[in-house]
Copies of this chain bind each other. A is one copy, B any other.
Amino acid sequence: MKKITLKDIARYFDVSISTVSKAVNDSHEISRDLKQRIQEYAKENHYKPNKLALNLLNRSTKTIGVIVPNILNYFFVQVLYGIEKIANENGYNIISCISDESFEKESKTLEFLDSGTVDGLIISLAEETQVKERIEGLQEISESQIPLVLFDRVSDLIACDKVIVDDFEAGYKTTKFFLNLGCKNVAFVSPIGKSSVGKLRLEGYKKARKKLKDDMMRNW
């Protein structure tokens, strides 16, 4: 069963399309009787305004695209929740996509979301993208296209607003905590050692170890 349009309704009632448009939008310009009949018919036939057409007309989709690298990660799921909550509160919908830590998938998703589909983009970079520094696509977007915000996994090469965690400090403090406890062999293990986040944590870890060593030397 094909989808019904204003045109179909207009033909049925033998009136103009704009009349139908006004009728379904409950305009005061339309006579009470005709309006009622049209609305009834529209409802019966499950008329729904085509969003594509509306979005094209308004040059706005009221949706934000979000790309996260990995959805098996609780952190990203939480972020997704948060973004969606605030977005909804402000009349926006979100489209959440997963790059799966792959540069290719990220690019394809970007391609999909870009140009028309969304009004803005919120992205946390795939590890591969960070490692290879393949940020041409993102740069292009940040330069001229839709609003872009990077979070957590960011890149200095892309000029845009960013929301980040102080991973260096986190790595430092965590390591220091264990060292202060008297632990002798504190290992650093990370599944994302090559991402910006992993690298910063590692730096923090190293600094803490170095500091301990330096302190010991001094007190020797």
Q: Please give the residue numbers on chain A whose beta carbons come within 8 Å of chain B beta carbons, in ascending order.
A: 1, 3, 45-46, 48-53, 55-56, 61, 63, 71-72, 74, 77, 80-81, 84, 88, 93, 95-98, 108-109, 112, 114-117, 140, 143-145
Contact = CB atoms under 8 A, between A and B. Distances in A.
A114 B56 contact: no
6 contacts: A45-B144, A50-B115, A53-B116, A56-B56, A93-B109, A93-B112
Given A52-B117, A71-B80, A144-B1, A95 B95 contact: yes
Tally of this chain's copies: 2
Q: Enumerate the 4 nearest inter-chain pairs by beta-carbon distance, A residue then B residue, closest first.
A: A48-B115, A51-B116, A52-B116, A52-B56
Task: Give the interface SS of chain A, mostly helix, strand, loop or mixed.
Answer: mixed
Given A3-B115, A52-B52, 19 more contacts: A3-B144, A45-B144, A46-B140, A46-B143, A46-B144, A48-B114, A48-B145, A49-B115, A50-B115, A51-B117, A52-B55, A52-B56, A53-B56, A63-B112, A71-B77, A72-B77, A93-B112, A96-B96, A96-B97
